[in-house]
Structure formats: C-alpha cells, structure tokens
Amino acid sequence: MTLAPFGARLRHAMDTRGPLCVGIDPHASLLSSWGLNDDIRGLETFTRTVVEALADRVAVLKPQSAFFERFGSRGIAVLEKAVEEARAAGALVLMDAKRGDIGSTMGAYAATYLDKDSPLFSDAVTVSPYLGFGSLRSALDAARAGGAGVFVLALTSNPEGAEVQRATTADGRSLAQLMLDHMAAENEGAEPLGSVGAVVGATLGDAGADLAINGPLLAPGIGAQGATPADLPGVFGASVGNVVPSVSRGVLRFGPDVSGLRESASRFADEVRAAVSGA
C-alpha cells in the first residue's frame, strides 16, 4: 500500500489527536524511577507500557534509538516491535536517530529507516545536515518515494550547537538559515504541509530565523528542559501552527501508571492547542 505523503498524514494526526510528540527515552535513571532494572527486561516493560498507553491517542511517538542500541541486538528487537505496534495503533513514529553521512552510507541509513520493507521503517527520521545539505539527498529521495518524512537539525536546544548553527555563511546568512532555506525549497508547493521538517528548540526564546519552510517544526525542550507550551508563539511566530512540540520526561515521569501517562499527554496537548490558538 502506498502511503500518503508524511506532511499530509502528520497534519491530519495533529488536527485529530492533538499537536504533540512524546519521546520514548528509556535511559537508566528513568527506568529506575519506574522501579525497573536497567536491563533488557526493564527496557521491554518500559517500552511496552509507553506504547500501550499512548500509541492510540498521541499524534507522534519518538523513540530515541541510542537508548535501545546500547542493549545490542536485543535492544534493537525491542525497538522494532515498538515501531510496529505504535504504527499499528495509529501513532506516527519518528525515529530519533540523528543520522548524517555521505554517499552509500547515507543511503544505507535511508534504507534502514525509510524503506517500507525494513523492520525499522518509520514514518520519519531525524537527520543531521552538517556534512552539507546535499549529503541528505538519498534520505530525502527515499522519504519522498515511501511517503515518509525527515526532520533536519536546524537550531537545536543545546547551547553548544550555536557555534556551528549560528556561524555566518559567505552570503551573510547563518548556517541554520541556509539549511532552513534548503528545507523550504524541498517543501515548495506541498499541501497541506511538506514532509521535510526542521528541528528547532523550544528553549531558544527567539529563533532569530525565518521558519516559514512549509513543513513541520519539531520543538524539543517542552517540560523537563524548561520550556512551556506558552513559550511557543514567541519562538515560532507566524509558523507556530506547524509546530510539533516534543515532550519526554514531562510525560514519562508519570509512569508506570498508564492513566498518569495518558493524563499528562492529554494535558500537554490541550496546553499546546491553547497556546497555538491564542485562547
């Protein structure tokens, strides 16, 4: 079955389920706070609980690949199952892998996450453009062919990112703005939303960039990192309607209680709706 373009599927999911992405980040301290051991059994229990609690109601689930990779092949098996079950329950899966390379290696990453026959096929994947935006071409092409999406790092929430992302190019644009302009070109003419998104931290205060890329804007930093839904209009301005706020610990800290996870996710989604609409 051919998938509709990711941007269209994401717009529908946000409109019907609420504009929220919940991360699945099974780091050791979070497993411990849930009363779980930092081992494969704890990983399985944690992941299964999050998927069962949220996959039928949030727009996007975002597994952080590194926290599964650290357990080797058994961890990847848990990740494969989580992706399959989350998508079956109606959530879009954004694989947070931040891959970036060149040539055939980037092509292999694209096949891993964006080929519909791959066991890790996801609705979208995060990628890094800082080997040059052209290095992403195989991922961009694979995403377009498969109805998937990519989220490209642009202005991240970590303070170290500024030394690269705010650097000035020969024509006076910041490097981040150059990347955003490339994304806008990829999304030109797409309706209702392009499938090439940008990662822009919700903690920035003022993005200081033109975010009108006709694509989704993944906004990490809501919750434990200090940003709130009320901060979104100030960071994203006229593009705030295309923001996909990403929350991890702010929701996951209410586990392992399923109702706690669901109530927290619902509360964040309602707060984002209110902030975006100006209500």
Report the catalytic residues. Answer: 98
Q: CB-based contacts of 189: which residues, under 8 Å, 6+ apart? A: none
Residue 151: what are its φ and ψ, rounded to 5°?
-115, 120
Token reading at 207: 């993005």
- Chain CA centroid to CA 206, Å: 20
Distance between CA 246 and CA 206 in Å, rounded? 18
- Chain CA centroid to CA 234, Å: 20
DSSP string, 143-189: HHHHT-EEEEEEE-SSGGGHHHHT-B-TTS-BHHHHHHHHHHHHHTT
Tally of residues, the chain: 279
Query: Is residue 21 within 8 Å of residue 216, measured between CB atoms?
Result: no
Longest dimension (CA), the chain: 54
Distance between CA 251 and CA 264 in Å, rounded? 5
255: DSSP letter: T
Distance between CA 175 and CA 132 in Å, rounded? 10
